[in-house]
Amino acid sequence: MTRTLIRNANVVLPGDGFASASGRVEKRNIFIDHGKIIDVDASDQVTADRVVDADGLHLLPGVVDDQVHFREPGLTHKEDLSTASHACAAGGVTTFLEMPNTKPPAITVEGVRDKERIAAQKSLVNYGFYIGATPDNAAELARATDVPGIKIFIGSSTGNLLVDEQEALERIFAETTLPICAHCEDETTVRANSERLSPTNDLTDHSRIRDEKAAMIATKRATELAVRHRHRFHVLHVSTAAELIYLQDPSPYLTAEICLHHVFFNVEDYARLGSRIQMNPSIKTAADNAGLWQALIDDVIQVIATDHAPHTLEEKSQPYPASPSGLPAVENSLALMLNEVHRGRVQLPQIAHWMSDAPARVWGITGKGRIAEGYDADLVLVDLNEERLIEDEKQHTKTRWSPWHGERLTGWPVLTLVAGQSVWSVAEGFDESARGTKPHFDHSRGGFWATAEGIGGSPV
């Protein structure tokens, strides 16, 4: 393992753990050995095999994206774990957590292990895989260990992954111990709206079918289950400001996230972007954009994720409703937020909290999410002054398109390290020999609200 010194970086250091803006930025030397951060205030004279001159640049913990769909196995014409992890590396994402709705779906422990074996061979960055809930696999979910958590589709699913009957949901919350996350859209409401508006080829009807009411009903139902059963629960991709009523009061059992498409796009953008922004949950209103952004600033929402879910442009170009929901985002998410720093809307410590520290703590990923001694050297060096244009043809995701095509952003990753190894740099490209590893998920730490001092690193 190479001993690395990152010299003269503006380092984003963690704060008190609950307030996203409490971190700080200080000029430091970071010393890395055997894939670990050994010293966050190292001497210029320390002996290193490699010295990275980071003068004028900022060093953040690598992004932990806790919601992606990387399509392998079964749907690899859209994406696979190699192309997706390349997109991660170029975007500063050093750990991803992937959803179970592949073909076959990961609804057994062995199914999860199969995906881990594929990732060990293909992924440039670290990986974890949720186990999926079905109406009748509570016993298998209870048997699962060393996975990030359980994913429930309360609406909007395929095959046997839909779980919307109350009895099945009660059983899952009562009989399992892993933290749970869910896609919250009420299936009954969605179907009733669809029947009311059918037949339709109007893409804007997608946001009328998957409306605020559908999100409200499902989020209320799931959060009530979590609190009543005292079971940790994470609300995925909150899409409406109305849902925030269920998250306003801090609870040791509840955390939540937003995805960037739900704060950067709204129904007015359908005319410009069409099915490129067709998503489940659907894009909502400008008022929802503003409400969700403020909830993030106010720490009502803890996590930013992408819900990276690529489809080919040919598939997306089909007339609605044949066009599938989902968009690629993992390689641009950090840059989109760095651009918000440039605009003066947020600060770097907030980004590190929402995109690195908080998701690591929610899912018990030890040694991740912070720049601190004993933590893994999963790091991203960024240039806050660099301008780049997002262009379809330059995307690393297999589908080679982005809903942000044509947007010019200021602030970009220039170097991504996984366990101290450079997996991508703007100067040298990808290290194709690099491989990430499966992190350790320690749910005994108690999740986000029990880990104000961080999820903890490995002994130095």
* Cis check: omega of the bond before 413, within 30 degrees of 0: no
The answer for residues whose C-beta is within 8 angstroms of residue 411's C-beta and 6 or more apart is: 335, 338, 339, 341, 342, 382, 383, 384, 385, 386
Place of tokens 């170029």: 90
**Cα 116 vs. chain centroid, distance in angstroms?**
18
- φ/ψ region of 73 (left if φ > 0, alpha if ψ in -120 to 50, else beta) reads beta
- φ/ψ region of 419 (left if φ > 0, alpha if ψ in -120 to 50, else beta) reads left
The answer for residues whose C-beta is within 8 angstroms of residue 349's C-beta and 6 or more apart is: 12, 13, 14, 15, 20, 21, 22, 23, 24, 25
Place of tokens 């602030």: 411
User: What is the Cα–Cα distance from 159 to 239, expressed in whole angstroms?
Assistant: 24
Nearest partner of 404 among 321, 341, 335, judged by Cα: 335
User: What is the Cα–Cα distance from 390 to 407, expressed in whole angstroms?
Assistant: 6
Phi, psi of 220 (to 5 degrees): -60, -45
Q: Which amino acid is at 183?
A: H
Of 307, 357, 376, 383, the catalytic one is: 307
Annotation marks residue 202 as catalytic: no
User: What is the Cα–Cα distance from 202 to 422, expressed in whole angstroms?
Assistant: 46
User: What is the Cα–Cα distance from 223 to 220, expressed in whole angstroms?
Assistant: 5
**Quick check: 172 and 138 in contact, CB under 8 A?**
yes
- φ/ψ region of 374 (left if φ > 0, alpha if ψ in -120 to 50, else beta) reads left
Q: Which amino acid is at 261?
A: H
Residues annotated catalytic, as ranges: 307
